[in-house]
């Protein structure tokens, strides 16, 4: 039975859109939450989940769309207004104050007081009641929050939500910081909350959790709700993964010419491991070959790329480029050997957003044109302009701040950076994340062109279609293990999904 | 939730994307435009001086007095500009300067300088500054201590070390050629002013025209991106603090030239004046953007202001209040400017 089936809609969002500096974070999200249900929001990294939460918690204003709260059209102008309306948010980075006691945290901002004098006794009494309601009556209200485990901090955060007249609690990946026992406990508390008529929006990308706790699911991909309010029971996992990872539009993938067996091995990864994240990853990439890593978020795929690149230090295993061993944990060694990485988080890991395009393009190689350490910006601009023309980067102004460009063009900046530097191995983490449909095809063609020119390429993508369409060979990864390595032409999306699901279940 | 409250309304940010900016606004937010604001501020202060103190203020000698007064803080601020542009901070510069004046004037060094050349004292002071900066840099880059704490520790330790070495005595310089040099001038202009000017010119060139400067901006603009682009971020961090220390050492030499004595109390609170000048000069405290020209203007604004107040016999307390107000206004303007930029989220 679906809880709250007959319950009236508590929250209804229609056609919510939001963009930042011209980049669409949300492009039409519908969400319908009923009182007393656990409504799961499912989506890959960057799908727009956090933006959606921030709109609900009043931190952002949507560009367009409607929000109905308890049947009335409304706007949520500020975080304080959201709290007053009865919407509480439990962020991943818990917003509890470590130096204060549990009671002080719970009543922070709405203390029991007379003329500014705190009623500690009353606060402690109320705190005990609230903690008891959450099944944690054993916690002392006077305990300092800094001494609590992450799980108990969540309890404090929830008690704070309950201390106000909260109707909806948003939980942003609460299980990410918990162990199995604590997750079980969390689920009990969530049950407790819903039985009191409180609605919970539960965000996670762990499918098995959603199965256990969720009533209905909304799947978000590329800032759009792919499905809204699907019942958890009766929706097969494969359907969910497909909604989450499947393509929205037919993409044109460039033809694969095939890699001759005589092509030299450029990248040789042997027994690479990073404790607690992935284990025993071995593979080779030949010149001109594209190898794709398929797997869900959290499978370790980004970490594998970052470890090859030296941004993380491998616990064991080796990486060799053109037969030469790379020093572990040294990005410099990798770059000097001709390895380039286009990171998953373009803005926080890849670009100097305030700096002009040309300086971003030459970031790894500006020293090359310098004479006695004196920069040659004219040469850099010329080089950048060549790349701008070759990659059809728009707007084509080398002096425009990188942050003002669209996702697709920012991706091209990163590709241009490595083209200019000259790479033999290119590691691409989510190369089309946040890139709109039109630009994707261009980026696919670009990647293939790089491969045809002899670059060995490793691609990570959340979209299985993309991995299959781009790669010559595919490695399927789940929970930090390589499940299968095979020619992309010998495997299809269903088989990959099956493998991933078996891997997750194992 | 209380921590979430100050999130700025992003609607303002998107509304003022670079495309939407008017040409005037774009000009004003560019490098020239921002320094133009500082020039206007400086001219206003000069005008205030001219009106209130008249010829006494406008005298050419007074003009040189202002720059002379600015020179020592100026050199320190130039070093500080690099550190702050790279997203760091160096609180130890004043103490390190004090330490350098002590080490350069201990009996042994003076005796050796007498035997060889007075330049030995200069080299010793610079070496002391660079060494202290090196320690700062290593602790920050390899020990992963936040710059604020690492350099705060150096602030305390360097001052203590200076007191230990000098036994809290003032060390008088007996090396006559050293004193003679700083009593002299070049083309009628005081050596302190020359050193400041040369340091500013080198600093400007280094920050805006060299690979060193590009790396500095990259580190402050996005440390992770710089690291993943293959820049040697740790090594560069060490070099930045060595540079700041070196600047403090040079400032120590200048202080010795001006006062003729080494003492552990030289340079107290100079770090704050330097940070104020750098920030007023338009360098972002979070890093990623900074100009030497702005810093020089920032230093000159403060020293001209002090001069105007002194000419009018106003107390240093009033000066302090006005200085504080200027810092706040500068930072407010900076934030408005930063809010117009592109967000990373």
> How many Cα neighbours within 13 Å face the side chain of A190?
30
Q: Which two tokens stand for residue A52?
A: 């959606």
Q: Output the furthest CA–CA distance in chain B (Å, rounded).
A: 70
Residue A320 has pLDDT above 90, yes or no: yes
Count chain A–chain B contacts defined by CB atoms under 8 A. Answer: 129
Contact B5 A336 (CB under 8 A): no
Cis peptide before A395 (omega within 30 of 0): yes
State the Cα–Cα distance between residues A409 and A428, nearest whole angstrom: 15
Q: Are A36 and A212 in contact (CB under 8 A)?
A: no
Contact B1 A80 (CB under 8 A): yes
pLDDT tens figures, A18-45:
887 666 788 889 999 998 899 999 877 6
Q: Which fold has domain A9-245?
A: Rossmann fold (3.40.50)
Q: Which two tokens stand for residue B25?
A: 């606004």
Query: Which chain B residues touch A if contact means CB-CB below 8 Å?
Result: 1-5, 7, 9-11, 13-14, 17-19, 209-214, 217-218, 221-222, 224-232, 288-289, 341-345
Interface test with A, best of B3, B218, B222, B223 (most A CBs within 10 A): B222
Q: Range with the lowest mean pLDDT among A195-199, A209-213, A307-311? A: A209-213
Residue, of A45 and B31, whose pLDDT is higher: A45
State the Cα–Cα distance between residues B21 and B216, nearest whole angstrom: 28
Label each residue of B89-115 as H, E or C: CCCCHHHHHHHHHHHHHCHHHHHHHHH
CA distance B222 to chain A (A): 6
Q: What is the per-residue pLDDT for A432?
A: 85
Sign of CA dihedral B187, B192, B193, B195: positive
Contact B1 A83 (CB under 8 A): yes
**Phi-psi group of A21: left, alpha or beta (phi > 0 → left; psi -120 to 50 → alpha; rest → beta):** left
In chain A, CATH 3.40.50.300 sits at 9-245, 251-338+423-506
Helix (H, G, I), strand (E, B) or coil at A467: helix
* Max avg pLDDT among A8-12, A93-97, B127-131: B127-131
Q: Which helix (H) or strand (E) holds A316?
A: strand A316-321
Contact B228 A417 (CB under 8 A): no
Give percent above pLDDT 90 in chain A: 24
State the Cα–Cα distance between residues A352 and A87, nearest whole angstrom: 36
> How many Cα neighbours within 13 Å face the side chain of A200?
29
What integer is the mean pLDDT of B56-85? 91
Helical packing angle, B60-85 and B191-209, nearest 10°: 30
Helix (H, G, I), strand (E, B) or coil at A423: coil
Contact B221 A355 (CB under 8 A): yes
Q: Which residues from chain A sit within 8 angstroms of residue B239, using beta carbons?
A: none
Q: Which residues from chain A sit within 8 angstroms of residue B210, using beta carbons?
A: 370, 373-375
Contact A403 B344 (CB under 8 A): yes
Q: Would you list the DSSP string of A94-144?
A: ----TTSBHHHHHTTTS--EETTEE-HHHHHHHHHHHHHHTT-TTS-TTSB
Contact B7 A79 (CB under 8 A): yes
pTM recorded for the entire structure: 0.72
pLDDT tens figures, A266-301:
999 999 999 888 999 999 999 999 999 988 777 888
Quote the ipTM score. 0.76
Give percent above pLDDT 70 in chain A: 92
Q: Which residues from chain A sit within 8 angstroms of residue B222, using beta carbons?
A: 348-349, 351-353
State the Cα–Cα distance between residues A284 and A318, nearest whole angstrom: 12
- Collect all residues with Cβ–Cβ distance below 8 Å to A125 and sequence separation of at least 6: none
- The pLDDT mean for chain A works out to 85
What integer is the mean pLDDT of A209-227? 86
Residue, of B136 and A93, whose pLDDT is higher: B136
Contact B4 A59 (CB under 8 A): yes
CA distance B345 to chain A (A): 8
> What CATH code is assigned to A251-338+423-506?
3.40.50.300
Token look-up 């604590």 returns A182
Would you tell me how many other CB atoms lie within 10 Å of the CB of residue A404? 22
- Burial of A26 per CB tally in 10 Å (0-12, 13-18, 19+): buried
pLDDT tens figures, A487-498:
888 888 888 888
Interface test with B, best of A83, A349, A434 (most B CBs within 10 A): A349
What integer is the mean pLDDT of B99-123? 89
DSSP B210: B
Token look-up 């979070």 returns B286
CA distance B20 to chain A (A): 10
Helical packing angle, B292-311 and B316-340, nearest 10°: 150
Contact B4 A95 (CB under 8 A): yes
Burial A365-376 (b: 16+ CB within 10 A, else e): bbeebbeeeebb
Helix (H, G, I), strand (E, B) or coil at B171: strand
Q: Are A464 and A245 in contact (CB under 8 A)?
A: yes
Among the listed residues A74, A50, A434, the one whose alpha carbon sits nearest the alpha carbon of residue B4: A50
Q: How confident is the model at residue B205 (pLDDT cuts 50, 70, 90)?
A: very high
Q: Which residues from chain B sit within 8 angstroms of residue A401, using beta carbons?
A: 18, 341-342
Residue B17 has pLDDT above 60, yes or no: no
Report all structural domains of chain B as residue ranges with CATH numbers, in order of start: 58-337 (1.10.3470)
Residue of B nearest to A59 (CA): B7
A343, A348, A366 member nearest B214 (Cβ)? A366
Residue of A nearest to B26 (CA): A400
State the Cα–Cα distance between residues A165 and A170, nearest whole angstrom: 14
Contact A331 B341 (CB under 8 A): no
Residue, of A230 and A61, whose pLDDT is higher: A61
B214, B230, B289 member nearest A375 (Cβ)? B214
B4, B224, B226 member nearest A348 (Cβ)? B224
Q: Which residues from chain B sit within 8 angstroms of residue A403, using beta carbons?
A: 341-344
- Collect all residues with Cβ–Cβ distance below 8 Å to A74 and sequence separation of at least 6: A67, A68, A85
> How many Cα neighbours within 13 Å face the side chain of A123?
21
Q: Range with the lowest mean pLDDT among A386-400, A434-448, B260-274? A: A434-448
pLDDT tens figures, A440-454:
788 888 898 889 888
B225, B231, B289 member nearest A350 (Cβ)? B225
Among the listed residues B290, B302, B274, B272, the one whose alpha carbon sits nearest the alpha carbon of residue B334: B290
Q: How confident is the model at residue B104 (pLDDT cuts 50, 70, 90)?
A: very high
Residue of A nearest to B206 (CA): A374
Q: What is the per-residue pLDDT for B8?
A: 39
Q: How confident is the model at residue B185 (pLDDT cuts 50, 70, 90)?
A: confident
Contact A335 B344 (CB under 8 A): no
* Max avg pLDDT among A137-151, A447-461, B24-38, B312-326: A447-461
Contact A21 B10 (CB under 8 A): no
CA angle, A390 then A394 then A397, to 5°: 90
State the Cα–Cα distance between residues A92 and A170, nearest whole angstrom: 10
Q: Which two tokens stand for residue A347?
A: 């803005």
Helix (H, G, I), strand (E, B) or coil at A33: strand
CA distance B152 to chain A (A): 24
Q: Which residues from chain A sit within 8 angstroms of residue B209, using beta carbons?
A: 374-375
Interface test with A, best of B17, B34, B209, B230 (most A CBs within 10 A): B230
CA distance A34 to chain B (A): 23
Q: What is the per-residue pLDDT for B21?
A: 46
Residue B82 has pLDDT above 50, yes or no: yes
Helical packing angle, B31-53 and B292-311, nearest 10°: 10
Contact B221 A352 (CB under 8 A): yes
Q: What is the per-residue pLDDT for B288?
A: 85
- Collect all residues with Cβ–Cβ distance below 8 Å to B328 and sequence separation of at least 6: none
Q: Which residues from chain B sit within 8 angstroms of residue A334, using beta carbons?
A: 230
Q: Which two tokens stand for residue B88?
A: 């760091």
A331, A354, A403 member nearest B230 (Cβ)? A331
CA distance A368 to chain B (A): 10
Residue, of A143 and A204, whose pLDDT is higher: A143
Contact B4 A57 (CB under 8 A): yes
Q: Which residues from chain A sit within 8 angstroms of residue B15, using beta carbons?
A: none
Give percent above pLDDT 70 in chain B: 87
- The pLDDT mean for chain B works out to 84
Residue of A nearest to B11 (CA): A61
Q: Which residues from chain A sit within 8 angstroms of residue B225, using beta carbons?
A: 348-352, 363
Contact A347 B344 (CB under 8 A): yes
Q: How confident is the model at residue A46 (pLDDT cuts 50, 70, 90)?
A: low
Interface test with A, best of B342, B343, B345 (most A CBs within 10 A): B342
Contact A332 B232 (CB under 8 A): yes
Q: What is the per-residue pLDDT for A247?
A: 55
Backbone angles phi, psi at B67, to 5 degrees: -70, -40
Which residues, in sequence order, are bridge partners of residue A200?
A: A38, A169
CA distance A79 to chain B (A): 6
Residue A60 has pLDDT above 50, yes or no: yes
CA distance A304 to chain B (A): 15
Label each residue of A44-95 as H, E or C: CCCCCHHHHHHHHCCCCCCCEEEEEECCEEECCCCHHHHHHHCEEEECCCCC
State the Cα–Cα distance between residues A159 and A180, nearest whole angstrom: 22
CA distance A234 to chain B (A): 36
Q: What is the per-residue pLDDT for B24?
A: 60
Q: How far is CA A123 from the centre of its chain?
A: 39
State the Cα–Cα distance between residues A291 and B119, nearest whole angstrom: 62
Q: How confident is the model at residue B6 (pLDDT cuts 50, 70, 90)?
A: very low
Q: Which residues from chain B sit within 8 angstroms of residue A348, using beta carbons?
A: 222, 224-225, 344
State the Cα–Cα distance between residues B101 and B255, nearest whole angstrom: 8
Contact B227 A351 (CB under 8 A): no
């Amino acid at each position: 039975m679906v809880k709250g089936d007959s319950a009236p809609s508590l929250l209804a969002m229609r056609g919510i859109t939001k963009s930042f500096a011209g980049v669409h974070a949300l492009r039409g999200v519908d969400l319908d939450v009923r009182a007393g249900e656990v409504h799961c929001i499912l989506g890959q990294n960057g799908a727009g989940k956090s933006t959606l939460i921030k709109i609900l918690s009043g931190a952002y204003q949507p560009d367009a769309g409607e929000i109905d709260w308890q049947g009335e059209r409304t706007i949520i102008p500020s975080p304080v207004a959201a709290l007053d309306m009865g919407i509480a948010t439990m962020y991943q980075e818990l917003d509890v104050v470590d130096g204060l006691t549990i009671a002080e945290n719970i009543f922070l901002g709405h203390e029991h007081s007379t003329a500014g004098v705190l009623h500690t006794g009353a606060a402690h009494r109320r705190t005990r009641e609230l903690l008891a309601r959450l099944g944690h009556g054993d916690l002392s209200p006077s305990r300092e929050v800094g001494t609590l485990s992450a799980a108990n901090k969540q309890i404090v955060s929830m008690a704070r939500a309950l201390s106000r007249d909260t109707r909806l609690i948003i939980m942003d990946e609460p299980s990410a910081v918990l162990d199995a026992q604590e997750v079980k406990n969390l689920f009990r508390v969530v049950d407790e909350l819903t039985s009191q008529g409180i609605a919970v929006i539960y965000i996670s990308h762990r499918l098995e959790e959603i199965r256990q706790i969720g009533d209905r699911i909304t799947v978000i991909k590329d800032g759009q709700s792919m499905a809204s309010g699907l019942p958890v029971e009766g929706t097969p996992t494969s359907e969910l993964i497909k909604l989450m990872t499947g393509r929205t539009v037919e993409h044109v993938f460039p033809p694969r010419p095939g890699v001759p067996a005589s092509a030299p091995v450029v990248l040789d990864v042997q027994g690479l491991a990073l404790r607690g994240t992935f284990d025993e990853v071995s593979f080779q990439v030949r010149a001109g070959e594209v190898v794709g890593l398929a797997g869900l978020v959290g499978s370790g795929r980004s970490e594998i790329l970052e470890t090859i690149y030296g941004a993380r230090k491998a616990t064991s295993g080796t990486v060799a480029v053109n037969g030469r061993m790379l020093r572990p944990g040294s990005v410099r060694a990798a770059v000097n050997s001709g390895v380039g990485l286009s990171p998953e988080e373009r803005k926080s890991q890849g670009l100097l957003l305030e700096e002009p395009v040309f300086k971003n393009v030459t970031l790894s190689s500006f020293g090359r044109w310098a004479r006695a350490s004196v920069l040659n910006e004219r040469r850099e601009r010329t080089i950048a302009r060549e790349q701008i023309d070759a990659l059809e980067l728009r707007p084509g102004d080398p002096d425009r701040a990188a942050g003002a460009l669209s996702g697709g063009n920012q991706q091209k900046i990163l590709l241009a950076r490595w083209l200019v530097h000259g790479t033999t191995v290119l590691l691409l983490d989510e190369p089309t994340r946040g890139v709109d449909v039109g630009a994707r095809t261009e980026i696919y063609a670009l990647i293939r062109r790089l491969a045809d020119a002899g670059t060995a390429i490793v691609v990570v993508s959340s979209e299985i279609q993309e991995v299959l369409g781009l790669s010559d060979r595919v490695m399927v990864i789940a929970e930090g293990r390589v499940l299968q390595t095979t020619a992309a032409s010998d495997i299809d999306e269903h088989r990959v999904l099956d493998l991933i699901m078996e891997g997750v279940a194992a | 939730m209380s921590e979430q409250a100050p999130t700025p309304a992003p609607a303002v940010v998107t509304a003022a994307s670079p495309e939407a900016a008017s040409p005037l606004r774009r000009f004003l937010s560019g490098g020239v435009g921002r320094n133009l604001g500082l020039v206007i501020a400086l001219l206003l202060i000069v005008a205030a001086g001219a009106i209130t103190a008249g010829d006494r203020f406008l005298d050419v000698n007074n003009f040189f007095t202002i720059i002379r007064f600015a020179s020592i803080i100026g050199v320190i601020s130039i070093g500080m500009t690099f550190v702050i542009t790279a997203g760091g901070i160096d609180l130890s510069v004043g103490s390190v300067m004090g330490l350098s004046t002590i080490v350069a004037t201990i009996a042994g060094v003076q005796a050796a300088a007498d035997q060889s050349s007075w330049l030995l004292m200069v080299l010793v002071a610079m070496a002391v500054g660079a060494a202290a900066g090196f320690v700062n840099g290593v602790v920050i880059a390899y020990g992963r201590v936040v710059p604020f704490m690492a350099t705060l520790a150096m602030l305390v330790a360097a001052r203590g070390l200076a007191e230990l070495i000098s036994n809290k005595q003032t060390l008088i310089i007996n090396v006559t050629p050293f004193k003679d040099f700083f009593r002299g001038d070049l083309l009628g202009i005081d050596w302190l002013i020359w050193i400041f000017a040369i340091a500013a010119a080198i600093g400007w060139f280094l920050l805006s025209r060299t690979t060193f400067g590009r790396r500095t901006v990259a580190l402050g603009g996005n440390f992770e991106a710089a690291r993943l682009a293959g820049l040697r971020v740790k090594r560069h961090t060490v070099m930045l603090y060595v540079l700041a220390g070196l600047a403090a050492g040079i400032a120590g030499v200048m202080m010795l030239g001006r006062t003729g004595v080494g003492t552990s109390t030289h340079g107290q609170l100079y770090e704050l004046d330097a940070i104020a000048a750098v920030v007023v000069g338009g360098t972002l405290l979070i890093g990623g953007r900074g100009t030497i020209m702005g810093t020089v203007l920032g230093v000159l604004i403060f020293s001209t202001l002090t001069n105007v107040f002194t000419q009018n016999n106003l107390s240093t307390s009033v000066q302090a209040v006005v200085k504080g107000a200027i810092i706040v206004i500068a930072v407010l303007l900076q934030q408005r400017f930063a809010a117009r930029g592109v967000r990373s989220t």
